[in-house]
Structure 1
Amino acid sequence: MNTRHILSHRPLRWLAGGLAMVTLLGMGGAAYAEVQTPINNPVVVRGTSGGSQSSSCGFIGSPSQVVQVTESFAALRFRVEGGDGTTLLIRGPGGSNRCVMADSLAGGVIEVSGVWDQGRYTLFVGEQNQAGNSSYTLSVVQE
């Protein structure tokens, strides 16, 4: 086997992987992964709020994060740092929806803590006005 031939392809593989990551990060909206409890380290997602889909919690786009609670219940804290019109829609098991809206008094910060039942929770960072959008940081912490 020719080791020079093998070594010469490694930089290309790294380059292809690097380009894929740059392409993913450069796309509009947030790319998310589904995480499940227990969550040992905070999960942090950055993106742009809002979207074209009207909901009970303002205007939303694609999900920002999905959290699967695998225990009977889990103490979780969801925190969004965004603009004054930012919203957080949490769609839970059984069709439950929880909406929290930021306001100027909170400085664009939304924080929701509680004990969450087992199931899948889909988080959307939206905007109260369709024309609005702002950069946000969403963090999920298990307490």
Structure 2
Amino acid sequence: MKKLTRTILISAATGLIWGALSSVIAQAQVILAPGFNPDPKPITTGTSGGGKNSGDCGSISAAPNLQLQLTEQFTYLRFSVQGAGQPTLLIEGPTGRFCGLAQPEISGLWIPGTYNIYVGDRAGGQHPFSLSVTKNP
């Protein structure tokens, strides 16, 4: 009986851990290396907004719309969102957290690492969007 109880508890705990992890797994994953083409490069599409209040960058989904892995430093990249509603762009990465509100784009120097990208909505709506990146100012 003890073995059965232990097995049930382990199974329940494993289910809870996987459930918690699945809520933070990105909806899409992309690896970006220098010399990418085409430029600008469409990197994901989806639905903006979600049920989580980001605090300063509108409503976002619980999981990132995109997890981006940069293999090397980029002296310049610009991420831009095109879509309906009032889209926002939130990027969390090795150098901090950045929000594009009025104009949903963020540009600058990018170091290697993993970036979680959320496409939110200031009004709490949910609309189709596309996200692209360019290496040209």
**TM-score in same-fold range (> 0.5):** yes
Corresponding residue of 1:80:
81
1:7-46 equivalences under 5 Å are 31-38=27-34, 40-41=36-37, 42-46=41-45
Corresponding residue of 2:13:
none
Q: Which of the pair is proportionally richer in helix?
A: 1
Is the 1:74–1:118 contact (alpha carbons within 8 Å) kept by the matching residues of 2? no
CA deviation after TM superposition for structure 1 residue 84, in Å: 4.4
Counterpart-to-counterpart distance in 1, 2:48 and 2:35: 24
After superposition, the Cα gap between the structure-2 partners of 1:73 and 1:40, relative to the gap in structure 1 and judged at 3 Å, is closer
Corresponding residue of 1:142:
135
Could you tell me which runs of 5 or more consecutive residues in structure 1 were left unpaired when the two chains were aligned. 1-29, 103-108
Corresponding residue of 1:133:
126
Is the 1:39–1:141 contact (alpha carbons within 8 Å) kept by the matching residues of 2? no
| 2:56 corresponds to 1:59 | no
Counterpart-to-counterpart distance in 2, 1:65 and 1:39: 20
1:41-120 equivalences under 5 Å are 41=37, 42-56=41-55, 57-61=57-61, 62-93=63-94, 96-102=96-102, 110-120=104-114
With normalisation by structure 1, the TM-score equals 0.63
Corresponding residue of 1:20:
none
After superposition, the Cα gap between the structure-2 partners of 1:69 and 1:44, relative to the gap in structure 1 and judged at 3 Å, is closer
Percent identity (aligned): 40
Corresponding residue of 1:23:
none
After superposition, the Cα gap between the structure-2 partners of 1:72 and 1:81, relative to the gap in structure 1 and judged at 3 Å, is closer
**How many residues are matched?**
106
With normalisation by structure 2, the TM-score equals 0.66
Corresponding residue of 1:122:
116
In structure 1, what residue type is equivalent to 2:48? Answer: S
Show CA shifts across 1:75-118 (max 9, x none).
Answer: 21101011341110000115x1101113xxxxxx6232211122
Could you list the structure 1 runs, at least 4 aligned residues long, displaced by more than 4 angstroms after superposition.
Answer: none
How large is the RMSD of aligned CA atoms in angstroms? 2.2
